[in-house]
Structure 1
Amino acid sequence: MTGRTRGRPRDPGADGQIMKAALELFTERGLEGANFEQIAKRAGVAKVTIYRRWSSKEELLVQAIEQARTVPHEAEVWAGAEAPAEELMDSWVATFGDARFRAVLAQLVGSSVTHPALLATYRERFIAPRRALIRAALARAGHEGDLDTVIDMVVGAAMYRMLIDPGSFDDPAEVRRYLQAVIGQAGRLLPPE
């Protein structure tokens, strides 16, 4: 005899609809406009459907933001011998050149003062693990010193350009050139391998 749960079976397509609606509303209206009621309405689901899947708006938005990113298999790429690999650079170019990602990033950073839980959740779940992967890859390559500062410089430069001069990131070739230049300059700060 198999166990049955009460109620209707869970709709696997609902998660995607909910995350899409959450991301759209967050991008258009910020954190205040991306409440469960509005997300449910746009996704065409009941509010209780969202409450059953996510314990907070921050948790839902962090998952939606990450699912919308284009970076594939980062752990595998950074675990390889060469970092950043061409696959990772291609993915960064696509992500940083995506106007939707730039809008999401602007909302994420902008909401950090009034709603610090969103950025804290994003930092804990995604930024910190990625930084650890990058730091480990640089250490494996024989680099020493203040690796966190070098990582901050690369990420900070890319974020600055994306947010302050977003039009310069409309051309994928320019995004690639800029990222390669920033990584090259940051590499000069690392002690020789």
Structure 2
Amino acid sequence: MSAAEATRGRGRPRDPRTDEAILRAALELFTEHGHAGTSIEAIARRAGVGKLTVYRRWGSKDELIAAAVESARGEIPNPGTDDLDGMSYAEISQVIVDALPVSARTLAEPGYRAMLAQVFGSCVTHPGLMAAFWQNHILPRRRTVHLALSRAVDEGVLPPETDIEALIDMTVGAVLYRLLRSDPPDADELLEYLRAVYRQAGMIPRQ
């Protein structure tokens, strides 16, 4: 157990409202000013708490920003592969289809797009932040899509020589390119775009 974790384990129970205020302040400042323009002092000031209160919960600025970024996913569904194990391609793709409207609404929010831009802009200078974002945010969804495409190959929906990893990369790249353009789509436009891209990739059936 780290010193920070040991400190968190002592004293009164943590107030979840304080946690939420700190995460919200960290996310707002990171989105507005990036990693370099965000400090623990500024986060504490915006959250209305003392600096020590922040450090009792998160041991470093990178750890706090990573947690704040993860909190921004909102209601985007995140079905685990354990929940999908044993399902057919049609069943898994239906789970993906059902999740698309909520995903589109979240991804189309200006604040969410700005946060994504800051995360990707920090990937070289602060690789730990991208690593945390990848582990907590991207990888679980990537596993779900990988399972769907694997089922598609097994059931003959996609050819056996399909490079699943490359196909996922191309799909993610297409979505990010569309999100970060100067004329971003609204939620309805993004939903149609996601459906089109996912159909082309074979993640959901073509209709």
TM-score > 0.5, shorter chain as reference: yes
Which one has more relative contact order, counting CA pairs under 8 Å at least 6 apart? 2
* Equivalent residue runs for 1:73-112 within 5 Å: 73-75=77-79, 79=84, 81-83=91-93, 84-112=95-123
Asked if the contact 2:80/2:144 (under 8 Å) is kept, the reply is no
* Alpha-carbon contact 1:58-1:121 (below 8 Å) kept: no
Root-mean-square deviation (CA), in Å? 2.4
Between the aligned partners of 2:76 and 2:107, the Cα distance in structure 1 is 14
TM-score, normalised with respect to structure 1: 0.83
1:168 aligns with 2:187: no
Contact 1:71 1:88 in 2 (8 A): no
**Matching of residue 68 in structure 1 with residue 77 in structure 2:** no
Residues 38-82 of structure 1: per-residue CA shift (max 9 Å, x gap):
101110111111112112222222221222223444215972623
1:22 to 22, 26, 30: 26
Give deviations 1:94-146, integer Å, cap 9, x for gaps: 12211111000011111112222211221123322321222123223435531
Count of residue correspondences: 183
Unpaired runs of 5+ in structure 2? 1-8
| 3-state SS of paired residue (2:35) | helix
The amino acid of 2:79's aligned partner reads A
Where 1:87 maps in the other structure, the secondary structure is: helix
Structure 1 spans left out of the alignment, 5+ residues: none
In the TM superposition, 1:1-193 aligns within 5 A as: 7-75=11-79, 79=84, 81-83=91-93, 84-141=95-152, 142=154, 144=160, 145-165=162-182, 167-169=183-185, 171-187=186-202
Instruction: Note if contact 2:78-2:140 (Cα within 8 Å) is conserved in structure 1.
Output: no
Task: Tell me, in whole angstroms, the C-alpha distance in 2 between the residues paired with 1:11 and 1:22.
Answer: 17
SS for the counterpart of 1:123 is helix
Distance of aligned partners of 1:12 and 1:96 in 2 relative to their CA distance in 1, 3 Å threshold: closer
Identical aligned residues as a percent: 44
- C-alpha displacement of 1:87: 2.7
| CA drift at 1:177 | 1.6
CA distance in 2, matches of 1:160, 1:118: 21
CA shift at 1:163, angstroms?
0.9
Question: Are the structure 2 counterparts of residues 92 and 10 from structure 1 closer, same or farther at C-alpha, using a change threshold of 3 Å?
Answer: closer
Runs ≥4 residues deviating over 4 A:
5-9
State the alpha-carbon separation in 1 of the partners of residues 25 and 52 from structure 2.
15
Q: Give yes or no for contact 2:80–2:140 (8 Å, CA) kept in 1.
A: no
CA change 1:184–1:133 in 2 (3 A) is closer
Distance verdict in 2 for CA 1:12–1:62, change over 3 Å: same
